[in-house]
Amino acid sequence: MKTLRKINNIAFYTTLTLFITLYLGMLAQIPLGIIQVISAIILTYITYLKSRYAKKHLTIYWFATITELTLLYLEQFYYQSSNDFIELTLMVLFPMSIAIYFFIIMRKITSEYELKKINL
C-alpha cells in the first residue's frame, strides 16, 4: 500500500510541476490517469467493503471518472465544440480536480488501511 501511495505521489507532483508549461502538464495527465485508475482498482478491491470512508469516496471517484471519460468521448467524436473554455475544462480542469480528489482520498484510505493492519 505504501508503494502504491509513493508511485501516485510521484506521478501527481510531477504532473503538477509540468503544468508550468500547459502542454507538458496535459501530456503528464495521461500516465497520471493510468496510475490513478490502476490504484483505484486496487484500493476498491482491497478496502471497498472494509471501510465506510473508502466505499463512499471511491464510489464518488468512480462516478466522476466515468462521467469525465464519457464527456471527453462525446466532445471528441460527436460535439466537437470550438469553445476553448469547454475544451480546457474537459481536458485540464476536470481531470486535475479528479486527480486531486483521488490524491486526498488515497492518503486517507491507505493511512486507515495501515492503521487497521497494525492493530490486527
Tens-of-pLDDT digits for all 120 residues of the chain? 889 999 999 999 999 999 888 778 889 999 999 999 999 999 999 988 888 999 999 999 999 999 999 988 888 887 766 777 878 888 889 999 999 999 999 999 998 888 877 554
104 CB burial (10 A radius; 0-12, 13-18, 19+): exposed
Q: How far apart are CA 113 and CA 42, in angstroms?
A: 13
- Measure Cα distances from 66 to 11, 19, 41, 115 in Å: 21, 23, 13, 30
Q: How far apart are CA 105 and CA 102, in angstroms?
A: 5
The pTM score is 0.86
CA gyration radius, the chain: 16
